[in-house]
Structure 1
């Protein structure tokens, strides 16, 4: 199981440092319904990560494995995911530096309720293509590793905890010490908004290369 956890770390970190959900969390923590909306967002975020990952654990578990490791089919899946991430990363890198209009859903965060926050968190985790590809890669890695049920559960939880940490920790910190965190959060929000595209494109490119390498290694 240790090797599987090691394989999951790049994908978990890829989800964790995704700037968009972090910015959304900060905006919620600076809104008038900070407590309820941010908690709803955390619940939706974690549910989205877990459901998307478990779904692909189940799907990839139906793919046969050999005694020497993952089947060729799984390796082709990893290769395809890597190529998709590489294309996405290049496209995002080429679009960096320009003026980007603030999404309407970000503008609406100030008036969001806990339920809407939950829905937004789920959508950003399980439907947003960038994070979904990370969850698919994690699910394929877990499902193709021939783990027992207990190890699968632990692997999924470890992935979800690491992937969700950058959203969960600020919310818990804010609930404990709101006044102290307002200024640092506002500063972090500005930095993330200025560097969102660059951070995410570099991250996607690196993880795409990792997946391509694993895919090629399993095929040849």
Structure 2
């Protein structure tokens, strides 16, 4: 079990420390329909994470079986490819950094957050969690790690829960905190939104670089 949790921790952090969904959640919390929209977004975010990791955990059952200490070349190749793709995304994020004095560009859909309903918030959360290319790569890697290395159903379930809780935490914490103390959270949330907006590309580039190297390393280890 420890090996599985060790595999999924960096991947879950890669999903958790994603500025765009955190910024989206904060904007919803500062919108006129804060309660309904943010809760819908959080539910969609959690469901998207669960669906992605469960689907790829189940698909990993089709990988060739190997003993606990035997090489796993197929899983190794998959992890190396996923790690390299993450490194490519890291380079793209780094090159997209705004120049000094230039206001960072955010997705156009964020301008419509003030008018979103709970249903649209749910759909947006699900898409960002399950369909976004970066998060999808994390889900694939986590599914391969859980399904390929887990000795039983119980360990797989624990791995999925750990991955989901950590990956969803950075959206869940501000939403829950705001619902409990809306007036006190408004100013800190606005400050956090501004920082994430300015440093989005840099944060993601460094994060993807680190996780990509880790995943490639895990893949290489599967050959020995």
> Which TM-score band (shorter chain)?
over 0.9
Q: How far is 1:135 from its partner?
A: 1.1
Is the Cα–Cα contact under 8 Å of residues 97 and 202 in structure 2 kept in the other structure?
yes
**How far has the Cα of 1:147 moved from its partner?**
2.7
* Greater alpha carbon shift after TM alignment, 43-52 vs 128-137: 128-137
Aligned to 2:85: 84
- Report whether the alignment pairs 1:30 with 2:34: no
Do residues 95 (structure 1) and 96 (structure 2) align? yes
1:216 paired residue number: 220
Structure 2, unpaired ranges of 5+: none
Match of 1:204 in 2: 208
- Which residue pairs with 2:117 in the alignment? 113
Whether the 8 Å CA contact 2:17–2:170 is kept in 1: the answer is yes
Q: Which residue of 2 aligns with 1:145?
A: 149
**Deviation larger for 86-95 or 187-196:** 86-95
What is the deviation of 1:218?
1.5
Partner residue in 2 for 1:164: 168
Q: Distance in 1 between matches of 2:111 and 2:219?
A: 40
Number of equivalences: 220
Contact 1:28 1:109 in 2 (8 A): yes
Hey, what's the Cα distance between the residues in 2 that align with 1:203 and 1:91? 13
Q: CA–CA distance in 1 between the matches of 2:79 and 2:70?
A: 14
Tell me the TM-score normalized by structure 1. Answer: 0.97
The reply to whether residue 184 of structure 1 matches residue 188 of structure 2 is: yes
**Cα distance change on mapping 1:69 and 1:186 into 2, 3 Å:** farther
Q: Say what the alpha-carbon RMSD is for the aligned residues.
A: 1.2
- For 1:140 and 1:215, the matched residues in 2 are separated by 11
- Paired with 1:189 and 1:201, the residues of 2 have a C-alpha distance of 18
1:43 and 2:43 equivalent? yes
Unaligned runs of 5+ in 1: none
Q: TM-score, normalised by structure 2?
A: 0.95
* Aligned residue in 2 for 1:61: 61
3-state SS of paired residue (2:151): coil
Deviation at 1:169, TM superposition (A): 0.9
Equivalent residues of 2:4, 2:150 under 8 A apart? no
Provide the rounded CA distance (Å) in 1 between the counterparts of 2:24 and 2:49.
16
Q: Give the Cα–Cα distance (whole angstroms) in 1 for the partners of residues 73 and 7 of structure 2.
A: 17
Distance 1:146 1:166, change over 3 A: closer
